[in-house]
Amino acid sequence: MRSKKQSQEAYARKYNALVKRYDKAASRLNDATAGRNLRATHDRELRIFISESTEKPLVLEEWDEGLGASILETATVQRNGHILFLFNVY
């Protein structure tokens, strides 16, 4: 079998196209992996929250700092005195 001669320019074009294709695929893989890791972290945090919540009484008699920190993102006191709570969404 004879090998086909290829110009340096054609080789460079083909090589650059393959590098571009590889970089695109590697980027997609990294994005997918990061998304999967984020979902796994949220899942783990939610499981911990649920297991801790089932061990606690249904009515809190005093503020639980750990529970509050896990479900509350921010609390803003408005000018009219109302408090706006923003909860974490998993």
CA 16/CA 18 separation, integer angstroms: 5
Please tell me the pTM assigned to this model. 0.50
Q: Measured between alpha carbons, how far is 30 from 25 in angstroms, rounded to an integer? A: 9
Q: What is the pLDDT along the chain (90 residues), one digit of tens a residue?
A: 566 777 899 999 999 999 999 999 999 999 999 999 999 998 998 888 788 777 776 776 777 777 777 788 888 999 999 999 888 875
Domain segments of the chain: what residues?
A: 8-87
Q: Which residue in this structure is represented by tokens 């999967």?
A: 36
Per-residue pLDDT at 2: 61
- pLDDT at 63 (0 to 100): 74
pLDDT at residue 85, rounded to an integer:
87
